[in-house]
Structure 1
Amino acid sequence: MIDDFAKKYLHNDLREIRKAMLWKLDGLSEYDVRRPLTSTGTNLLGLVKHLSLWESRYFGEVFDRPFPEPLPRWDDAKAHGTDMWATEDETREQITDRYRRVWEHSDATINALAIDAPGHVPWWPRPNVMLFNILVHTLTETSRHAGHADILREHLDGSTGTAAEHAIPNRDAAFWEAQHAQIERAAKAAADARSDGIGR
């Protein structure tokens, strides 16, 4: 009974965080969903592309249920890093539609298998896994990248939250300037109190 509960709980959380990832693109220009927003090039559409590729592998080839569309090999050194950004020839719709098709394929795998169904991840040091491991791993990775997307979207237009119905109300610039100043004062006061600047 706990196995069924765990599988359903993890699967539901994965479904919700996937939707949050796509919501982070809503209302943004073509340039804003693609442009690098960190020194390493992290961008919103690239995060979605990355998640679609890896989720398709984890719930596909790991359980001998390959995703039915072509994928670059996981061990192709030339392709390393290309999953983190969209080329000018890839449309937003192609990437987001593929992510939704990956969801359908992954959901079919999750629904078909028991939580202790065996799988094999050749790129992991301990490659023998169960569906439980992959559910937890994929949920963790998707949540991690959703956090990246939160920060990127806030940087672009101040939008925060996990979905339209849970969006944090927009505040005016004066509110955020005051908030920023208050946090800055607290940080400086803490650093001054510890003259070496290193927490103890």
Structure 2
Amino acid sequence: MPTTPIRQDDHGYLQESRQTVLGCVEGLGAYELRHPMTPTGTNLLGVVKHLIGIEAGYLGVCLGHPFEQPLPWIADESLGPNRDMWATADESGDYIVELYQRACAHSDAVLAEVGPAAEASVPWWPEEVRVTTAAGLVARVLKDTSMHAGQLQILRELIDSRAGTDWSDAGDRDWWRDYTARLEEVALRFRSSGE
């Protein structure tokens, strides 16, 4: 039997996902943080910047406790769509990471003050479904943060082969190289088969 309520677990899982996010950007230079690594431009620092808006919006604005730090990219449409998915030259990695940490701390303080049953309203959702609770918003932010943490882990692995915290539990670099070669060998059997 679970020993904590599901909603309390959600907040704990959210905090763990935030730590994964921060671990994925730790120790990298400005180029690695900003380098677009997918055809749609996904980059480490941009994902963290996006998560700032998730925290400040859902666990701030929607609970009637706006984050005190302005997020200029929210209102500045001159940067175009996806303006929350990349850092400008004036937004350093340290600035984005610190702002994310502050947004998370603000979210935690708001949740501690209002409690999980507090009514919330999400102004950007359709009117018929915009009323929810703090617990519902925690679940939403947990979903988004966990998804993006997974993206960040893959991007980080592509940069320096550093995977999740359990990477070394399976083996060292040689083990992983041999494992990957074995997987490729199996995959090659299907390359020309069209399956």
Partner of 1:145: 148
- The equivalent position to 1:159 in structure 2, one of 153, 157, 162, is 162
Partner of 1:27: 27
Return the alpha-carbon distance in structure 2 between the equivalents of residues 176 and 17 of structure 1. 24
2:73–2:84 contact (8 Å) kept in structure 1: no
Return the alpha-carbon distance in structure 1 between the equivalents of residues 16 and 23 of structure 2. 11
4+ residue runs over 6 A deviation: none
Q: CA deviation at 1:104?
A: 1.3
CA RMSD of aligned residues (A): 2.4
Q: CA deviation at 1:114?
A: 2.7
Kindly provide the amino acid, as one letter, of the partner of residue 140 in structure 2.
H
State the percentage of identical aligned residues.
37
- Matched residue SS, 1:129: strand
Runs of 5+ in structure 2 lacking a partner? none
Superposition TM-score, scaled by structure 2 size: 0.85
- Matched residue SS, 2:132: strand
Return the alpha-carbon distance in structure 1 between the equivalents of residues 72 and 52 of structure 2. 12
Return the alpha-carbon distance in structure 1 between the equivalents of residues 99 and 57 of structure 2. 13
Q: CA deviation at 1:145?
A: 0.4
Please give the per-residue CA displacement for 1:35-91, whole angstroms capped at 9, x wherever unaligned. Answer: 101111111111111101121110111011111121358687555311111111111
Return the alpha-carbon distance in structure 2 between the equivalents of residues 127 and 35 of structure 1. 36
Kindly provide the amino acid, as one letter, of the partner of residue 148 in structure 1.
Q
Residue pairs, 1:87-126, within 5 angstroms: 87-125=88-126, 126=129
Runs of 5+ in structure 1 lacking a partner? none
Superposition TM-score, scaled by structure 1 size: 0.83
- Matched residue SS, 1:10: helix
Return the alpha-carbon distance in structure 2 between the equivalents of residues 133 and 111 of structure 1. 15
2:73–2:83 contact (8 Å) kept in structure 1: no
- Matched residue SS, 2:84: helix
Q: Assess, with a 3 A threshold, how the Cα gap between structure 1 residues 65 and 13 changes in structure 2: closer, same or farther.
A: same
Kindly provide the amino acid, as one letter, of the partner of residue 135 in structure 2.
F
| Count of residue pairs brought into register by the alignment | 189
Return the alpha-carbon distance in structure 2 between the equivalents of residues 73 and 99 of structure 1. 14
Partner of 1:36: 36
